[in-house]
Structure 1
Amino acid sequence: MLSEVLLVSAPGKVILHGEHAVVHGKAALAVALNLRTFLRLQPRSNGKVSLNLPNTGIKQAWDVARLQLLDTSFLDKYREEKPEQGDIPAPTAEQVEKLKEVAGFPVDCATTEHLAVLAFLYLYLSICRKQRWTGEDLELINRWAFQGERVIHGNPSGVDNAVSTWGGALRYQQGKISPLKRPPPLKILLTNTKVPRSTKALVAGVRSRLTKFPEIVAPLLTSIDAISVECERVLGEMATDPVPEQYLVLEELIDMNQHHLNALGVGHASLDRLCQVTTARGLHSKLTGAGGGGCGITLLKPDLERLEVEATKQALTDCGFDCWETNIGAPGVSTHSAASLDTHVQQALDGL
């Protein structure tokens, strides 16, 4: 039973290279960002468990007594699709339908907000049924986070939960995680085009294109894999002996990968606009994640003038995008005391 406020955080992440190719067994490079999501758990005396996600407008509560009376045996029925994930249950379509009943959602609900609530309920009901839950075990956190990802994305690669759990930078391929030692502190712009997209649909689209044009798409996936490997090599060199020429290589890799992703059919006009804005200023950008809108990253070289950075951010904001300046290689899941948080974060948490 929680007796005091528990405050934890996890970093956001971007994929440097390997989007979509990772689904087909290729390598992906993912890095944690110094942009974090905070979770505050606090005890309540009203007999309810509440979920409040202010950024998405979600605010729901359930009676604990009612949840405890639920027949949750349906959570024991699962198929083990990925043995490397250990004994953590994988949610099935049937379980998700049951969770919709618990949440009081219509059968055909499929918005991100609905799926976020279902992921919470799945994890809450599954974890609370365990007699010995050790939340400090990062491996368990990673495994449970993966199952939560399954509720939202269906068949995720495992990259997102892994990098947010462990932090830093890692290479991910066919379920195997290889941390990059001392990733260089690269600075980037993370830009949200605010164009919604379905990861499931985009992944399915690439798979369909691979089936339709195997001799064209398979080499693209192989080339993206080679870009990831080359980027990993360069980052390794930069960790010990950084030189300006290495940034030029990273920029070339970004440009090539962006063209490959467009060829896979996961580009979008908003991402093209992002690239146009930054290219006009001598910067290099690519989509990150599923594509079809969503977010893009822009590499910032260390010698870039401060005024130029601000001008680029303003130009992207003028396009209707949200833009943040951050750096890669942030720590993973962390616990915090209120005293350790800066004023801005504390004010945001106080509003929950």
Structure 2
Amino acid sequence: MQLLLAHSKSPGKLILSGEHSTVYGKNSVATTVNLYTECQIFAINNEQIIQLNLINLDYQKIWPFELLKNSSRLINSIDDFRFDGEESLMKIDQFRNELQSEPANIMNSCLVFLFLYLSIGDLSERKSIKIEIKSNLPNGAGLGSSSAYIVSLAEALFTAFKVSIDKKEFNRWCWEMDKLFHGKPSGVDNSICTYGGAILFRNGQLIEQIDHENLPELKVILVNTQVPRNTKNLVEKCRQRLTIFNDIGNQLLELLNSVSQQVWFTLKQDQSNLNQLSTLFEMNQHLLNCLNVGHEKIDEIVAIAKRHDLSAKLTGAGGGGVVMIYLNNDTKQESLLKQLHSNGFVTYQVKLGVSGVHTVN
């Protein structure tokens, strides 16, 4: 019989405004979406193993229990937790080497687990456990699947090992782990998955939060272009254009910054005028196209939305991934969905602004 030690859920994320400009210290506005990654940790008594099951990836990794228990703890205190690239990876070389043949997403997922496992609490007190992680977030679509994985896993491990950590420090740990996936993450994704609701983020800092209970209801349809993209490559494409057209690029970033400020003001103080979000999202999309992160499939979805008198914008890095259609007028929703599906797109009808990571009782 398996004893459940912890069960956590982390939502995905949606960038409402400020994609790419956040990399340059400008405002971005993010909210949660009710697509979740769940992590369950079970105590197992009949085997001396540590087992990690990545259900969506159809992957299972097993380590001998004694091998992990007798490893050196990676940090001396919670405040010491850092990920410094190759320097940090060298500390777990014996584990990394056996993962080298795996796809990057599987290898990084395993490494995140190992860093957290070998850093949280007292290793001498460990028992054999099985970790199961499943998600209904599409991978690589701009909805924060990697951060939701990290945040849900960290929450479950801290709970299972009965180690206390405040939310700010917890969020920093998750940002450190996101470096494994994204190199130099802005911090937006892990922050919104941790805190929930909606956040205003600028220059690597969470500036303000609106709790999920105080957010207006925003009706959206998410449309998956089913075009895979690489966040690092798109960030580089944007950087190259900004470098070539420096003065124009700076003006574009300031315009995106202003749009994000107005989106945040509307969500926080001017909720009687939510219809103006439609225009702001349209502006955002045009500015992002100027930064060279669009795609013909995104343009197709934007055009379909426009024919239904609705606004749409990419969310995340662009170049494919997911497009958000804002339903400020949902009377044409049935016709909209019919056309999107007939054009081969996958859609999600979701709720925005849900609570952040939490333990499931």
* 1:129-164 deviation digits (Å, cap 9, x = unpaired): 679863563223312211121110010010111111
- Structure 2: distance between partners of 1:190 and 1:148: 27
Change (3 A) 1:198 1:98: farther
- Structure 2: distance between partners of 1:6 and 1:231: 37
Query: If the length of structure 1 is used for normalisation, what is the TM-score?
Result: 0.82
Please report the RMSD computed on the Cα atoms of aligned residues, expressed in angstroms: 2.6
Give the SS at the match of 1:206. helix
| 1:128 positional shift | 5.0
Change (3 A) 1:31 1:250: same
Question: What amino acid maps onto 1:53 in structure 2?
Answer: L
Q: Percent identity?
A: 33
- Structure 2: distance between partners of 1:297 and 1:172: 20
- Structure 1: distance between partners of 2:165 and 2:345: 37
- Structure 1: distance between partners of 2:330 and 2:353: 20
Determine which of 165, 186, 199 is the counterpart of 2:218.
186
Aligned to 1:121: 114
| 1:169 positional shift | 0.4
Aligned to 1:160: 189
* 1:259-297 deviation digits (Å, cap 9, x = unpaired): 111111111122112212222222211111111111111
| C-alpha contact (below 8 Å) 2:225/2:298 kept by paired residues | yes
Give the SS at the match of 2:269. helix
1:75-224 to 2 correspondences below 5 Å: 75=74, 87-96=80-89, 99=92, 101-103=94-96, 104-106=98-100, 111-127=104-120, 134-135=163-164, 137-177=166-206, 178-180=208-210, 182-224=214-256
Aligned to 1:350: none
Change (3 A) 1:127 1:215: same
* 1:26-52 deviation digits (Å, cap 9, x = unpaired): 000000112222111111232222222
| C-alpha contact (below 8 Å) 1:96/1:151 kept by paired residues | no
- Structure 2: distance between partners of 1:112 and 1:273: 29
- Structure 1: distance between partners of 2:345 and 2:87: 38
Structure 1 unmatched runs, 5+: 78-84, 338-352
Give the SS at the match of 2:359. strand
- Structure 1: distance between partners of 2:60 and 2:312: 36
Aligned to 1:332: 356
Count of residue pairs brought into register by the alignment: 318
Aligned to 1:67: 68
Give the SS at the match of 1:55. helix
| 1:225 positional shift | 0.3
| C-alpha contact (below 8 Å) 1:196/1:293 kept by paired residues | yes
| 1:124 positional shift | 2.3
Aligned to 1:25: 25
| C-alpha contact (below 8 Å) 1:193/1:293 kept by paired residues | yes
| C-alpha contact (below 8 Å) 1:100/1:118 kept by paired residues | no
- Name which of structure 1's ranges 35-44 and 53-62 shifts more when overlaid on structure 2: 53-62
- Structure 2: distance between partners of 1:208 and 1:157: 18
| C-alpha contact (below 8 Å) 1:119/1:152 kept by paired residues | no
Matched, 1:34 2:34: yes
- Structure 1: distance between partners of 2:316 and 2:302: 16
Change (3 A) 1:144 1:309: same
Matched, 1:268 2:295: yes
- Structure 1: distance between partners of 2:65 and 2:29: 41
Determine which of 272, 278, 293 is the counterpart of 1:251.
278
* 1:197-237 deviation digits (Å, cap 9, x = unpaired): 11112112222222222112111111100000011112223
Query: If the length of structure 2 is used for normalisation, what is the TM-score?
Result: 0.80
Give the SS at the match of 2:317. coil
| 1:319 positional shift | 3.3
- Name which of structure 1's ranges 143-152 and 129-138 shifts more when overlaid on structure 2: 129-138
